[in-house]
Amino acid sequence: MTTATTPTTLSRLLDPVRDCLTVEAARRIAALRADDVTQARIDELAEKNSEGAITPDERSEYEALVSAGNLIAVLQAKARAVIAGSSTR
């Protein structure tokens, strides 16, 4: 069972990325957001998925976007740790 304090495999895999981030790069990653067009597509696919009206191709696209979002979220957490660590030095 994974808990909030147990690093996931993805998190451990991305530790070397965290280790080479500058504070400026970390700030840019932490601020990363989907553009309006991309966010609208994610929202559209999420709604279709919830309604059970998603096609197999759309499901594949949606799953890829969700996976990308998870990867970005882990990178952002690591970026915030770099930023926080820079203020304690």
Contact call for residues 54 and 38 (beta carbons, < 8 A)? no
Query: Using one digit for the tens of pLDDT, what is the confidence trace for 4-62?
Result: 556 689 899 999 999 999 999 999 999 999 999 999 999 999 999 999 999 999 999 99
From CA 84, how far away is CA 35, in angstroms rounded? 26
The number of folded domains in the chain is 1
Residue 78 structural domain? 59-89
Assess if residue 6 is contained within a domain.
no
Question: What's the whole-model pTM score?
Answer: 0.82
Assess if residue 45 is contained within a domain.
no
